[in-house]
């Protein structure tokens, strides 16, 4: 009897569950954007507040909604604080959506919404399906107040972004450039002289380990982007360019103050950091669409200076060296075009973007000489390599007479980052009566740390510091300028582990064993002493292989061979269009083969499939100088940096 | 006594004369000087434009007194970069309302300071012809001699050519705070003398009158 009763109760439970499911059948809301903890936890947690905006900053509202089987979605309505949002809701359906969604799923969007009412807000989406069953879900966001008229505004904003530059990268550059004496740095780096410092939490929307796309985007939107995405939130569509957008710092200040934008990088200009100041895409690799959007929406971002590598995207696809491809071009849906007032784009691999830039009034510099001679045109494009520029070490070695590497890449006359920065400042200063936003990226601090090429990432950090000096000098004579030095994340888990106990001659002569190259070489604690490098008149060390040199370890490493000596060649760069042709195809492919005959094997801690070292999740230092610098301090989330910049730029600072 | 009273009455008359300039409608259009000039070179007598900031009062040691924030003259920046008049067209802010120039308050709030407190009967100002500006409502503040707020007018900087107009008289105004982020043009001011000034003037007249009969005798 007991058994019978038990079965009966189970049956009744199952029936009631089925009944409940039938009664409660309704559309499902699987995504609500902007992202919120309130929606993610189905109301259980209201914080932390994920999406935050300054008053008037634009962003898209979006929801992914699915009907019950056999039904269709008949309407989607967005409400803020219970009041329907004015504007038309557009839909993306069918094969345009990613696989795996229920039949007749719709992605509903309301583009370019903004709110000037300071405080917390509730975003509600109400969905009705064809049998009039309804569902709703709530999210939240905050409009962060700007304290108005506290003082003078920061008219110019300069963000010096050392890609992957953690605290140890900075210290290593200080040791190599200036040296220490009895425990004190003989000289400080320029970045050491900035008066205010904060520690920055760098996580992205979906990971404690960010990549450069959200790493930069988070600073200039105030919102968390997902890895590989910039200026957008994730969605459920296939198109990488239709994702829900959030307005950039550059776009907001161009729209409300008429500011100009300058982007300077030693990377390919399509790379994540430069693109994450002006381009909205869920695919940081979509180079053709990214560079097209730079140009097409220059009137929205104020883009006035664009300097770096990346010529391969600007050449028609039929030109040797071109990388333009339909698979990574962009064509926007009409709701994005009308909502944001941006160019629609086109799939146009034959486009000669270099020619279009020039015919619309942009001066063009192809190398250091033409950059130096270009003066201060109204708009300036400089593309100094097919893809990423050569790194500081190879450029300096080239300028000192050994141009083998830069010749192999085909660009023997590339400018240094400080020269590019000075030119950008000159052009922006001459053409920006309402101020500018300038982002300068020391890109290969990251790229060479990935490669665990210690001398190359340290030399790039020194090059970056020289560029910082240009920015600081400008701010010193233009006190309405705010200069920030920061990084998007740390790269490779760099640590200064000590110094060699050998002369360079002895180091070179040692066998490729751990006994000879590790146990007999690596000096820790007292044995490390103070490595001595000699600074040349060009501002870089005479040699990166002095006797008893500084040694670098990596915590986020893959397998590598290490002989501690400067590599004559950088690793191959897969971004280079002629990477697989001579002479670049003779360069070492990865750290698993480089120095195999001269170094000892260090077993990595991350999967070998990574090929190179990876980013790490530790906080990174930010330094501030100039108008509003006091707004930066303590431990800040990377998105909070945006609000401090905006306080200085919109509200003013003492 | 006669020698003492005569100068007093003269000062009172002069004070009145200064304030009398606002008794009728006065317009400041900044067009009498070239672009880039200091705003004060285009200001009428009795009006001075200063850069402003919102800071605490300082105690005798120079330390900030908590909760005393007011709009003050930004003495440091005002000396290094005084308020200027510029052609808004050069900044892509559209044509000025009055002709060529307008007061440039793009990057700092501006304190329009009167030599003596006045009773404002009319006040209006025209914004630049652009959609640039703060997206949240800005305010124009009327402040007394101690920088206390007597009244305010909210306006939207992003409305091209917006006219901000005082709707009711404000008495005892010594400063008008113009929010940063815009050009301001065609400032129209009407005022009547303040009672204390009037009293001083009247007392001067009375004294003058007292003296006169003595003289007659």
The answer, yes or no, to whether residue A15 has pLDDT greater than 90, is no
Contacts of B51 in chain A (CB under 8 A): 152
Helix axes B2-23, B195-216, angle to 10 degrees: 140
List CB contacts of B199: < 8 A, sequence separation 6 or more.
none
Residue A5 tokens, joined = 């009763």
Whole-number percent of chain A with pLDDT over 70: 96
pLDDT at A597: 97
Residue A105 tokens, joined = 């799923």
List CB contacts of A473: < 8 A, sequence separation 6 or more.
none
* Residue A56 touches partner B, C-beta closer than 8 Å: yes
The answer, yes or no, to whether residue B3 has pLDDT greater than 50, is no
Q: Render pLDDT for B143-175 as a digit per residue (tens, 0 to 9).
A: 999 999 999 999 999 999 999 999 999 999 999
Which of A55, A56, A155 comes nearest B107 by C-beta? A155
- The pTM assigned to this predicted structure is 0.92
Rounded Cα distance, A290 and A295, in Å: 9
Q: What is the mean pLDDT of residues B70-76?
A: 85
Rounded Cα distance, A203 and B115, in Å: 55
To the nearest whole angstrom, how far is the Cα of B142 from the nearest Cα of chain A?
15
B53 and A114 within 8 Å at the Cβ level: the answer is no
User: What ipTM, to 2 d.p.?
Assistant: 0.85
To the nearest whole angstrom, how far is the Cα of B129 from the nearest Cα of chain A?
13
Q: Render pLDDT for A405-462 as a digit per residue (tens, 0 to 9).
A: 999 999 999 999 999 999 999 999 999 999 999 999 999 999 999 999 999 999 999 9
Of B122, B130, B105, B97, the residue nearest B39 (C-alpha):
B105
A152 and B135 within 8 Å at the Cβ level: the answer is no
List CB contacts of A335: < 8 A, sequence separation 6 or more.
A88, A90, A109, A111
Highest mean pLDDT among A17-21, A23-27, B130-134 belongs to B130-134
Which of B107, B109, B136 comes nearest A55 by C-beta? B136
Question: Helix or strand or coil: residue A373?
Answer: helix
Evaluate whether A289 touches A349 at the Cβ level (below 8 Å): no
A151 and B74 within 8 Å at the Cβ level: the answer is yes
pLDDT at A5: 47
The answer, yes or no, to whether residue A11 has pLDDT greater than 60, is no
The residue in chain B having the minimum alpha-carbon distance to the alpha carbon of residue A254 is B132
| Range with lowest mean pLDDT among A111-115, A521-525, B81-85 | B81-85
pLDDT at B24: 62
- pLDDT confidence bin for A575, thresholds 50/70/90: very high
Residue A56 tokens, joined = 């008037």
Question: Helix or strand or coil: residue B142?
Answer: strand
pLDDT at A307: 98
Measured distance between the N- and C-terminal CA atoms of chain A, rounded to whole angstroms:
82
Q: Render pLDDT for A316-342 as a digit per residue (tens, 0 to 9).
A: 999 999 999 999 999 999 999 999 999
DSSP A63-98: EEEEPPTT--EEEEEEEETTEEPSS--EEEEGGGBP
pLDDT at B195: 58
From chain B, which residues contact A within 8 Å (Cβ)?
51-55, 71, 74, 77, 80, 90-93, 106-109, 130, 132-136, 138-139, 158, 177, 179-181
Contacts of A257 in chain B (CB under 8 A): 106, 132, 181
CB atoms within 10 A of CB A284: 26
Contacts of B158 in chain A (CB under 8 A): 256
| Range with lowest mean pLDDT among A123-132, A613-622, B52-61 | B52-61
Question: Phi, psi (5° rounding) for residue A19?
Answer: -65, -45
Enumerate the β-bridge partners of residue A402.
none
Contacts of A152 in chain B (CB under 8 A): 51, 53, 74, 77, 107-108, 180
Q: Render pLDDT for A628-651 as a digit per residue (tens, 0 to 9).
A: 999 999 999 999 999 999 999 999
Who has greater pLDDT, B62 or A167? A167
Rounded Cα distance, B122 and B191, in Å: 7
pLDDT at A628: 96
Burial A182-192 (b: 16+ CB within 10 A, else e): eeebeeebbbb
Q: Render pLDDT for A360-387 as a digit per residue (tens, 0 to 9).
A: 999 999 999 999 999 999 999 999 999 9
What are the Cα distances from residue A358, in Å, to A301, A313, A354, A615, B34? 18, 15, 6, 38, 36
pLDDT at B76: 77
Which of B54, B107, B135 comes nearest A153 by C-beta? B107
Contacts of A654 in chain B (CB under 8 A): 53, 55
Contacts of A149 in chain B (CB under 8 A): 52, 54, 71, 109, 177, 179-180
Contacts of A479 in chain B (CB under 8 A): 80
Rounded Cα distance, A235 and A240, in Å: 9
Whole-number percent of chain A with pLDDT over 90: 95
Chain position carrying tokens 């966001």: A141
Residue B79 tokens, joined = 């000396």
The residue in chain B having the minimum alpha-carbon distance to the alpha carbon of residue A480 is B107
Burial class from Cβ neighbours inside 10 Å (0-12, 13-18, 19+) for residue A456 reads: buried
Evaluate whether A282 touches A232 at the Cβ level (below 8 Å): yes
**Selected residues 497-556 of chain A with any CB under 8 Å from a CB in chain B:** none
What are the Cα distances from residue A645, in Å, to A325, A630, A651? 37, 11, 10
Enumerate the β-bridge partners of residue A403.
none
The answer, yes or no, to whether residue A6 has pLDDT greater than 70, is no
Residue A23 tokens, joined = 């009664």
What are the Cα distances from residue A522, in Å, to A494, A592, A639? 16, 21, 40
**Could you give the dihedral angle defined by the CA atoms of residues A11, A15, A18 and A19, in that order, rounded to the nearest 10 degrees?**
-170
pLDDT at A19: 38
Evaluate whether B149 touches B69 at the Cβ level (below 8 Å): no
pLDDT at B202: 44
CB atoms within 10 A of CB B108: 26
DSSP A541: B
């Amino acid at each position: 009897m007991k058994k019978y009763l038990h079965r009966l109760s189970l049956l009744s439970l199952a029936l009631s569950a089925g009944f409940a499911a039938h009664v409660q059948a309704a559309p499902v809301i699987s995504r609500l954007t902007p992202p919120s903890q309130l929606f993610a936890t189905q109301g259980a947690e209201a914080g932390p507040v994920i999406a935050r905006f300054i008053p008037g900053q634009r962003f898209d509202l979006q929801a992914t909604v699915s009907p019950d089987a056999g039904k269709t979605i008949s309407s989607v309505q967005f409400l803020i604080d219970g009041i329907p949002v004015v504007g038309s809701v557009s839909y993306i359906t069918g094969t345009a959506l990613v696989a795996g969604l229920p039949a007749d799923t719709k992605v509903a969007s309301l583009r370019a919404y903004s709110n000037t009412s300071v405080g917390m807000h509730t975003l509600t989406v109400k969905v009705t399906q064809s049998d009039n069953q309804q569902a709703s879900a709530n999210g939240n966001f905050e409009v962060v107040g700007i304290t108005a008229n506290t003082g003078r505004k920061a008219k110019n904003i300069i963000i010096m972004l050392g890609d992957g530059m953690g605290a140890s990268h900075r210290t290593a550059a200080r040791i190599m450039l200036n040296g220490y004496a009895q425990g004190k740095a003989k000289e400080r780096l320029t970045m050491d002289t900035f008066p205010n410092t904060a520690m920055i939490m760098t996580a992205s929307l979906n990971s404690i380990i960010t990549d450069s796309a959200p790493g930069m985007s988070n600073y200039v939107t105030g919102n968390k982007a997902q890895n590989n995405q910039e200026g957008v939130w994730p969605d459920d569509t296939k198109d990488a360019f239709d994702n829900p957008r959030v307005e950039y710092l550059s776009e907001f200040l161009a729209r409300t103050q008429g500011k100009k934008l300058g982007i300077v990088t030693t990377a390919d200009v399509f790379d994540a950091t430069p693109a994450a100041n002006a381009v909205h895409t869920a695919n940081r690799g979509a180079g053709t669409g990214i560079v097209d959007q730079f140009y097409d929406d220059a009137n929205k971002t104020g883009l006035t200076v664009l300097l770096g590598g990346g010529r391969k995207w600007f050449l028609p696809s039929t030109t040797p060296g071109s990388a333009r491809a339909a698979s990574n071009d962009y064509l926007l849906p009409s709701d994005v075009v009308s909502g944001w007032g941006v160019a629609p784009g086109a799939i146009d691999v034959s486009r000669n973007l270099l020619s279009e830039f020039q015919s619309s009034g942009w001066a063009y510099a192809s190398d250091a000489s033409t950059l130096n001679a270009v003066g201060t045109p109204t708009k300036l494009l400089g593309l100094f390599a097919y893809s990423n520029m050569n790194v500081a070490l190879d450029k300096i070695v080239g300028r000192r007479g050994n141009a083998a590497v830069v010749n192999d890449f085909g660009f023997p006359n590339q400018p240094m980052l400080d020269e590019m920065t000075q030119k950008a400042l000159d052009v922006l200063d001459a053409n920006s009566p309402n101020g500018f936003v300038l982002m300068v990226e020391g890109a290969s601090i990251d790229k060479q740390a990935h490669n665990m090429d210690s001398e190359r990432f340290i030399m790039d950090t020194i090059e970056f510091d020289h560029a910082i000096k240009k920015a600081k000098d400008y701010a010193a004579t233009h006190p309405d300028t705010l200069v920030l030095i920061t990084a998007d994340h740390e790269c490779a888990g760099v640590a200064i582990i000590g110094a060699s106990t050998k002369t360079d001659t002895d180091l070179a002569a040692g066998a490729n064993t751990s006994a000879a190259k590790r146990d007999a070489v690596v000096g820790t604690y007292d044995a490390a002493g103070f490595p001595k490098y000699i600074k040349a008149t060009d501002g870089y060390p005479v040699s990166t292989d002095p006797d008893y040199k500084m040694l670098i370890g990596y915590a986020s490493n893959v397998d590598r061979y290490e002989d501690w000596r400067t590599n004559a060649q950088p690793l191959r760069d897969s971004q280079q269009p002629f990477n697989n042709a001579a002479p670049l195809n003779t360069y070492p492919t990865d750290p698993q083969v480089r120095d195999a005959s001269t170094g000892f094997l260090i077993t990595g801690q991350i999967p070998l499939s990574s090929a190179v070292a990876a980013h790490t999740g530790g906080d990174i230092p930010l330094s501030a100088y100039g108008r509003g610098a006091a707004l930066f301090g303590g431990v800040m989330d990377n998105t909070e940096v945006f609000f401090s910049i905006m306080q200085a730029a919109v509200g003013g600072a003492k | 006594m006669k020698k003492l009273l005569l100068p007093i009455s003269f000062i009172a008359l002069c004070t009145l004369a200064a304030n009398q300039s606002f008794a009728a409608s006065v317009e400041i259009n900044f067009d009498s000087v070239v672009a880039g000039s200091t705003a004060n070179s285009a200001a009428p007598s009795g009006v001075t434009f200063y850069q402003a900031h919102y800071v605490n009062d300082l105690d005798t040691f120079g330390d900030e007194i908590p909760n005393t924030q007011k709009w003050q003259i930004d003495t440091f920046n005002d000396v290094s970069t005084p308020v200027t008049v510029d052609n808004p067209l050069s900044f892509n802010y559209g044509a000025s309302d009055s002709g060529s120039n307008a007061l440039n308050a793009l990057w700092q709030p501006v304190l329009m300071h009167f030599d003596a407190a006045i009773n404002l009967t009319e006040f209006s100002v025209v914004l630049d012809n652009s959609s640039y500006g703060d997206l949240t409502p800005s305010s124009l503040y009327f402040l007394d001699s101690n920088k206390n707020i007597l009244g305010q007018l909210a306006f939207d900087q992003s409305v091209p050519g917006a006219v901000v107009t005082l709707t009711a008289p404000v008495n005892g105004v010594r400063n008008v705070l113009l929010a940063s982020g815009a050009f301001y043009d065609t400032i129209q001011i009407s005022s009547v003398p303040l009672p204390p000034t009037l009293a001083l003037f009247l007392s001067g007249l009375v004294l003058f009158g007292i003296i006169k009969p003595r003289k007659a005798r």
